[in-house]
Chains A and B, each alone.
Chain A
Amino acid sequence: MLRTTLGACLGALLLLAGPARAEDKLKVGFVYVGPVADYGYSFQHDLSRKALAEALPDKVETTYLENVPEADSERAIEKLARSGMGLIFTTSFGFMEPTLKVAKKFPKVKFEHATGYKRAANVSTYSARFYEGRYVCGKIAATLTKSGTVGYIASFPIPEVVSGINAFMLGAQSVNPAVKLKIVWVNTWFDPGKEAEAAKALLAQGADILAQHTDSAAPLQEAEKQGKLAFGQSSDQYRFAPKAQLTAVVDDWNGYVIREAKAVLDGTWQSHDTWGGIKDGMVVLAPFTNMPADVKAMAEDTVKAIASGKVHAFAGPVTKQDGSVAVKEGETAPDPMILGMNWYVKGIDDKLPQ
C-alpha cells in the first residue's frame, strides 16, 4: 500500500515536472563577428535568427551578440552558454578554438560553428559552397564584359576565398578563355572605405564588372556611380545599386538554422558537418537584373545544371597557374581539395599572397 502511494506520488511528481520542462523554450544564441547592420554576412545570419524565431515562435527564444572580436570571443560564447542557451551558433571562422573550449565545459549545450573544420560531440560545423554561385557569376561576367577585364575584390587568402576566385575564373573561361581577372586583396571582411578604394582602383585599371568577397555594398555603389556593373555579396544588395547589381551570391542559412533547432527540440541532434550548395538552398543567386534576356536564361540554366549535378565548377580538366594538372579530364575536384585550395587556376594574372 505504502509502496503504491509512494509510486503514485513519484509518478505525479514526474508528470508535474515533465510538461513544465517541455514548456521551457529552447534558447538559441548567435555570435556575430560584425555588426548586424553590415547588410552582408552578419546581417544574413541574423535574418536566419529572425526566420527561426518566426518559424517556431512557441518553442524557441533567440538572442545574439554582435561585433564580437575573434580574439576575445571565448567569454562571449561562455556567457551565452551560461545564460541557459541550448543551441549556440558561432558564425565566424575565428571562433573555432573558443567554441571548442567552451563546448568542452558545457557538454549539454549544442554548438554550431560556421566555416570551421574542427568538431566535437556537441559541436557541428556548417558552411556553404559559395564557389558554386561564383561560377555562375563568372559566366555572366565573361559574357557581359566589354573591356574583357573583370575586377575582383578579395578579403583574405583562405581556401574559401581562393576557391571562389578560381570558380569565378573557370566560369568566365568557359565562356571566353581570353578574359582577364584583376584581383585586389584588401585584408578585411568589412571596411566600406577600403572596399570602395579597391573598387575605384580596379575600375581605373579598365575593369568594367566587379566581383567581391568582402561584405559591404561599397564596391557595388562605386560601380553604380561610374555606370559599371557588379555582383553583390552574401546578401541581395539590389537596393544599394539598382542599376549595377547583376545578381548576388546570397548565403541562405534559414533552412539550416531551423532544421538544427528542430533537431535539438526533438532530441535527434547529432554532431555533423554540413557543406551545402545551390542544391540544398544554402547558396542562392539573387534575381538576375541589368542583363539581356538571353544572358539571364544562360545564368538560370547554369544554376539549374549545378543543382542537378550536371555542371561542377571544378570539373576537369583544371590546370594550375604553374601549368600542372589539378583535376584530370572527366573527374571533378574532391571536397578536401576545394576546402584546402591554396593555388590559382591558369589564366589568373596575380600572385597568391602566401
Chain B
Amino acid sequence: MRLDLVPRDRRSPLAAALSPVLAFLTAVLIGGVAVAMLGVAPGAAFTVYFVAPLSELWSLQEIALKAAPLALIATGLAFCYRANLWNIGAEGQFVVGGLAGGWVAIATHGSAGFTAWILPAMLIAGTCAGIAYAMIPALLRVRLGVSEILTSLMLVYVAELLLDYMARGPLRDPAGFNFPQSVGFDEAARLPYLMEGDTLHAGVLVALVAVVLATLVLGRSLFGFATRVAGASPRAARFAGFSEERLTLAAFAISGGAAGLAGIAEVAGRIGQLQPTISPGYGFTAIIVAFLGRLSPLGILAAALVIAVTTIGGEAAQIDLRLPLDLTRAFQGLLLCLVLGADVLTRFKVRLVPGAAR
C-alpha cells in the first residue's frame, strides 16, 4: 500500500486562503499538548503566548519592531524565490548593510552644523552595500554557473567575520577600554522614534513601504510577471524573450538591497552602535517568513507578525510560566511544517493506492 499525491484540477481559492489558518490552529493544538505535558495549563499558555503580547501598547510596538526587518528581508527574498533563485545569504547582506551604514555614522561622529544628510546617507550606503554583496553570488551564477545557494550561504560567514573584525578593530570606540563596540551614534545618525517611550522607530515605516511597493511590482508590472514565469517555467520565459541573466541580477539586487536596508535600519534604530554581531538571525528567519507568507508581500507581512508574536510570547512564557525557550523554537518550526504541508494538500489530493510500494 502506498500514498500518492494527485494534482487537483482546480485549486479552490477558499481552501488556499484557509489552509494557513488551519495550519496555525493545528500548530496551536499540538503546542497545547506539549505544554500540558510540561505541566502547564494550555489555556494559560495560549493567553501568555498570543493574547498578552497583543493587549499591551509596549509589546505591540515590540512586535512591530521584530516583524519589520523580517518582513523587509522576506519581501526582497520573494523576488528571488519566485524566480527560482535561491538567495540563502540575506543574513550576510543584512550584516554588510549594517556595517556600511554604521561606518558612515562613525565617520561623521561628532560633526556639527548641517547633519540632516547623515541618516539618508547611512540608509543609502546600507542598501548599496547589500546590493553589492548580493551581486557576488548573482554574477558568479550568471557568468560561471556557480550554484548561488552555496556562494550566498558561505558569504554570510564572510560578512559576519568582517563585521566582527571591524567592530573589534578599526571601528572600535577609542575611549571604550578596548571593548569590542563602536561609539554610540549621534542623534542625527539614529532613526527617529515614532512614539513615546523610545521603542518604536521609523524603521517599521520602511518595511511597510517596501511591502506596498513589492505588491505593486509583483502584481502589476512586466518585471513581476517575468519573475513568475521564469520561476514556473524557465523555458517559457526564454521563449517570451525575458533575459534570464538580467532577471537574476535584478532579483538578487532587490533582495540584497532590502536586506542591507533592514540591516542599517536595525543598527540606526534599535542598536545605535556597531557591535561584533548585529543580527539574531533575521536573514535566516526571513527565509521561513517568506515561505510562510507564500512569497506574497501581504502574506509575508502577516507571517512576520506571527513569528514576532511567538518570539515575544515565548519570552513572556519563559518569565511567567517557566516554559523553555526550546518550546518556542519547536513551535515556530512546527508552524512552518504545517503551513507547507497544508499548502501541498490544497494543491494535491492524497490517494491511497493498494499494492506494493514502487
Verify that A and B bind, or say they do not.
yes
Contact A70 B178 (CB under 8 A): no
Least Cβ distance of B225 to chain A in Å? 38
Contact A157 B168 (CB under 8 A): yes
Interface string of A75-115 (1 = CB under 8 A from B): 11011101100000000011001000100010000000000
Contact A82 B58 (CB under 8 A): yes
Least Cβ distance of B174 to chain A in Å? 12
Is residue A63 within 8 Å, beta carbon to beta carbon, of the partner chain? Answer: yes
A69-B280, A97-B273 known; A158 vs B180 contact (CB < 8 Å): yes
B316 — nearest CB in chain A belongs to which residue?
Answer: A79
Complex alpha-carbon distance, A16 and B279, angstroms: 49
Contact among A29, A340, A341 with B319 in the assembled complex (CB-CB below 8 Å): A29
Is residue A117 within 8 Å, beta carbon to beta carbon, of the partner chain? Answer: yes
Contact B312 A93 (CB under 8 A): no
A80 — nearest CB in chain B belongs to which residue?
Answer: B319
B199 — nearest CB in chain A belongs to which residue?
Answer: A78
Contact B277 A79 (CB under 8 A): no
Residues of B close to A70: CB separation below 8 A: 275, 277
Contact A156 B168 (CB under 8 A): yes
Contact among A29, A105, A156 with B197 in the assembled complex (CB-CB below 8 Å): A105
A76 — nearest CB in chain B belongs to which residue?
Answer: B315
Least Cβ distance of B279 to chain A in Å? 6
Is residue B177 within 8 Å, beta carbon to beta carbon, of the partner chain? Answer: yes
A76-B315, A79-B319, A82-B58 known; A156 vs B180 contact (CB < 8 Å): yes
Contact B315 A79 (CB under 8 A): yes
Contact A158 B279 (CB under 8 A): no
Least Cβ distance of A134 to chain B in Å? 18
Is residue B278 within 8 Å, beta carbon to beta carbon, of the partner chain? Answer: yes
Residues of B close to A75: CB separation below 8 A: 62, 65-66, 312, 315
Number of interface residues of A (CB under 8 A): 35
Contact A339 B280 (CB under 8 A): no
Is residue B9 within 8 Å, beta carbon to beta carbon, of the partner chain? Answer: no
Interface string of B266-302 (1 = CB under 8 A from A): 1000111101111111000000000000000000000
Is residue A204 within 8 Å, beta carbon to beta carbon, of the partner chain? Answer: no
Least Cβ distance of B50 to chain A in Å? 16
Least Cβ distance of B53 to chain A in Å? 10
Is residue B322 within 8 Å, beta carbon to beta carbon, of the partner chain? Answer: yes
Complex alpha-carbon distance, A340 and B172, angstroms: 14
Is residue B164 within 8 Å, beta carbon to beta carbon, of the partner chain? Answer: yes
A72-B280, A97-B272 known; A340 vs B178 contact (CB < 8 Å): yes
B314 — nearest CB in chain A belongs to which residue?
Answer: A65
Residues of B close to A78: CB separation below 8 A: 58, 62, 199
Is residue B184 within 8 Å, beta carbon to beta carbon, of the partner chain? Answer: yes
Q: Which of A25-78 contact B (CB under 8 A)?
A: 29, 63-67, 69-72, 74-76, 78
Least Cβ distance of A295 to chain B in Å? 34
Least Cβ distance of A343 to chain B in Å? 10
Complex alpha-carbon distance, A152 and B320, angstroms: 41
Is residue A342 within 8 Å, beta carbon to beta carbon, of the partner chain? Answer: yes
Complex alpha-carbon distance, A159 and B316, angstroms: 35
Residues of A close to B62: CB separation below 8 A: 75, 78
Complex alpha-carbon distance, A79 and B179, angstroms: 26
Is residue A292 within 8 Å, beta carbon to beta carbon, of the partner chain? Answer: no
Is residue B192 within 8 Å, beta carbon to beta carbon, of the partner chain? Answer: no
Residues of B close to A97: CB separation below 8 A: 181, 184, 271-273
Least Cβ distance of A16 to chain B in Å? 28
Is residue A268 within 8 Å, beta carbon to beta carbon, of the partner chain? Answer: no
Residues of B close to A71: CB separation below 8 A: 266, 271, 275, 277-280
Interface size class of B (residues with CB under 8 A): 35 or more
Contact B184 A66 (CB under 8 A): no
Residues of A close to B198: CB separation below 8 A: 101, 105
Residues of A close to B272: CB separation below 8 A: 97
Is residue A187 within 8 Å, beta carbon to beta carbon, of the partner chain? Answer: yes
Residues of B close to A187: CB separation below 8 A: 161, 164
Complex alpha-carbon distance, A93 and B169, angstroms: 17
Contact among A72, A82, A101, A159 with B177 in the assembled complex (CB-CB below 8 Å): A159
Complex alpha-carbon distance, A158 and B184, angstroms: 19
A74-B270, A83-B320, A97-B273 known; A339 vs B177 contact (CB < 8 Å): yes
Residues of A close to B197: CB separation below 8 A: 105
Is residue A354 within 8 Å, beta carbon to beta carbon, of the partner chain? Answer: yes
Complex alpha-carbon distance, A341 and B178, angstroms: 8
Residues of A close to B177: CB separation below 8 A: 117, 159, 339-340
Interface string of B63-84 (1 = CB under 8 A from A): 0011000000000000000000
Q: Which of A228-267 contact B (CB under 8 A)?
A: none
Is residue B34 within 8 Å, beta carbon to beta carbon, of the partner chain? Answer: no
Which of B59, B177, B199, B320 lies at the interface centre, i.e. has the most chain A CB atoms within 10 A of its CB?
Answer: B177
Contact among A29, A69, A101, A354 with B277 in the assembled complex (CB-CB below 8 Å): A69
Residues of B close to A342: CB separation below 8 A: 178
Least Cβ distance of A84 to chain B in Å? 10
Is residue A353 within 8 Å, beta carbon to beta carbon, of the partner chain? Answer: yes
Which of A67, A75, A93 lies at the interface centre, i.e. has the most chain B CB atoms within 10 A of its CB?
Answer: A75
Complex alpha-carbon distance, A293 and B198, angstroms: 60
Is residue B51 within 8 Å, beta carbon to beta carbon, of the partner chain? Answer: no
Least Cβ distance of A193 to chain B in Å? 14
Complex alpha-carbon distance, A65 and B321, angstroms: 12
Is residue B325 within 8 Å, beta carbon to beta carbon, of the partner chain? Answer: yes
Q: With A65-B315, A71-B275 given, can you name 18 additional A-B contacts, CB distance below 8 Å? A: A63-B322, A66-B325, A67-B325, A71-B279, A72-B280, A75-B312, A75-B315, A78-B62, A79-B59, A93-B179, A97-B273, A101-B198, A156-B168, A156-B180, A187-B164, A339-B177, A340-B178, A354-B169
24 A-B Cβ contacts within 8 A? A29-B319, A63-B318, A63-B322, A66-B318, A66-B325, A69-B277, A70-B277, A71-B278, A72-B270, A75-B312, A78-B199, A79-B59, A79-B315, A79-B319, A80-B319, A83-B319, A83-B320, A97-B181, A105-B198, A117-B177, A158-B178, A159-B178, A339-B177, A354-B169
